[in-house]
Amino acid sequence: MKTGAAILIESLKEEGVEIIFGYPGGAVLPIYDELYDAELTHILVRHEQAAVHAADGYARASGRVGVCLSTSGPGACNLISGIATANMDSVPIVALTGQVPTGMLGNDAFQESDITGITLPITKHNYLVKDARDIKMTVKAAFYIAGTGRNGPVLIDLPKDVLTAKVAAEEVLSGEPELRGYKPTLKGHSKQIKKALELIYNAKKPVIYAGGGVIAAGASEEMVRLAELFCLPVTTTLMGLGAIPAVHPLNLGMLGMHGTEYANYAVSESDLLIAIGARFDDRVTGKLSHFATHAKIIHIDIDPAEIGKNVNPDVPIVGDAKSVLADMICLAEKKGCISEPWLEQVKLWRKNHPLRVVNDGKVHPQNIIRKLSELLDGGGIIVSEVGQNQMWTAQHYGFKKPRQWISSGGLGTMGYGFPAAIGAWFAKPDETVVVIAGDGSFQMNIQELATVAQYKVPVKIVILNNMYLGMVRQWQELFYDRRYSYTELPSVDFVGIAKAYGIQGMRVDSVDQIDEALRTALDYDGPYLLDFQIERGENVYPMVPAGAAISEMIGKHNHNGGSDT
């Protein structure tokens, strides 16, 4: 006879789970009792929200399903922001939550919450398990759903009496779960692929618009091969950074609200937009009626619900990006570069409208990001918080490969980056992991310094400290007549706080300290915190105001008298 909790642990191991990020509580004590002897690593975070973000970071860095665990009621509810984050960015995680005994469901029992009801709109699927015999099949189904098709979060709610119930081995249901109506389309339709190729052959101003779906599908190599086959300029979304190396001559950088000027101009002037694993979200398109108005659209996506949701494509292709692109390359006729004049125009935009940085002897965040990129040679795993720090990193770090850039895109969750960096390191312990944070966002999960200290996670923490909620302040400056309502933050001794947890750190006040400080942190054998005192009024440019077309940027190609780089 085995308890439900024992069956759960066995089932997780059968799915290849090696690590769980969690926080204990009364409803999940049977699981924690099994974990005491289990050959399975549990990382004790200091807040349930950190557990789900760490599982998310683990999944994005590794490509595997991340797992988090919390107790019922408030513990389960503390997972919600993280589950919604994973749902918006299509990240495969399985969230395990404890629940009150089945006989007390619906009675407003102590620490009861209807977590399956609460998370219904933000999960790919969720389960309330009422019979211990179903646990194994449920776990198997959850992992399959989370990691196939369009990836996403799945939640399994486990009442305490189900976890303590004893079941004979022969009574445990096993085999392949029946998932009616769930059959992801992986193979693109051959006629649609041929139509797409015809559009490419006839295009004069084509652009590839690559999203996070390219990275999730492992399709970066195929996407770059297609681009090189026809010399197609490539722009990416925030989630697509790393799909093509930053230094590749066809890479235009990021598109949209804080994209490069040349990417926004190229898409605005294009006559063919090849969208791959991207969803035409508002931060990319700006005013939708003014987005790529001259272009025919090819839209490749594994989720049929995304096709036509925001933009009606001329050629829709439902399928796995890796499979579809491989088929396109296989069927393509070798025509060489299809539009030399277009490439020359794009090069001219790039030359005349570069991202610029300021070299005036002050501490500017762009210089810090570029120096970090130089010291790591564009390598490592770079995790960001949300806000100005996120956009400066996205603009100025020279990403080389997929799964190297981890950030909350769709939901924009402050407090995400630090715990996600912890999860990323456990997925890739041989990589240098750096989290770029603002002073506001870092304080949202600052308690995870304790987790880093306990497990000696050698993550490097770079705080771009302007004593503001910077991005909100930027909007107040530009659109609310500089009325800085509740966005100024008091000075915090982050180095002192880090040292209280036994973590080394350094405060950086001058530009000539940047290089030495970054080298010290990167060379240090353990976690290290750098508190950069950056220019308080620095903004992220260029910027497309909300509701404007992406070609209508402010702060274009120069700010504060900056120079070309």
Residues annotated as catalytic are 48, 110-111, 160, 471
* DSSP element (H, E) containing 95: strand 93-99
Contact between residue 498 and residue 505 where contact means Cβ atoms under 8 Å apart: yes
In this structure, what DSSP letter does residue 551 have?
Answer: T
Cis ω on the peptide bond leading into residue 542 (within 30° of 0)?
yes
Burial of 401 (0-12, 13-18, 19+ CB in 10 A): middle
Closest by CA to 134, choosing from 97, 184, 171, is 171
Distance of CA 436 to the CA centre of its chain: 14
Q: Is 408 helix (H, G, I), strand (E, B) or coil?
A: coil
**Rounded distance between C-alpha atoms, residue 131 and residue 119, angstroms:** 21
Residue type, 434: V
Contact between residue 498 and residue 462 where contact means Cβ atoms under 8 Å apart: no
Q: Please list the alpha-helical segments (H only) found in 15-73.
A: 29-35, 48-62
**Could you tell me whether strands 405-406 and 381-384 are parallel, antiparallel, or unpaired per DSSP bridges?**
parallel
Residue with tokens 């995790």: 383
Residue type, 209: Y
**Rounded distance between C-alpha atoms, residue 42 and residue 107, angstroms:** 32
Contact between residue 420 and residue 452 where contact means Cβ atoms under 8 Å apart: no
Tokens at 319, concatenated: 């399928």
**Rounded distance between C-alpha atoms, residue 143 and residue 145, angstroms:** 6
Residue type, 189: H
Closest by CA to 466, choosing from 443, 491, 498, is 491
Q: Please list the alpha-helical segments (H only) found in 353-409.
A: 365-375, 388-396
**Rounded distance between C-alpha atoms, residue 126 and residue 502, angstroms:** 40
- 262-285 as b/e: b if 16+ CB within 10 A: bbbbbbbbbbbbbbbbbbbbebbb
**Rounded distance between C-alpha atoms, residue 93 and residue 87, angstroms:** 9
Burial of 108 (0-12, 13-18, 19+ CB in 10 A): exposed
Backbone angles phi, psi at 195, to 5 degrees: -65, -40
* DSSP element (H, E) containing 241: none
CA dihedral angle for residue 475, residue 479, residue 484, residue 486, rounded to 10 degrees? -60
Q: Bridge-partner residues for 274, per DSSP? A: 208, 298
Q: DSSP for 104-119? A: GTTTT-TT---HHHHT
Burial of 121 (0-12, 13-18, 19+ CB in 10 A): exposed
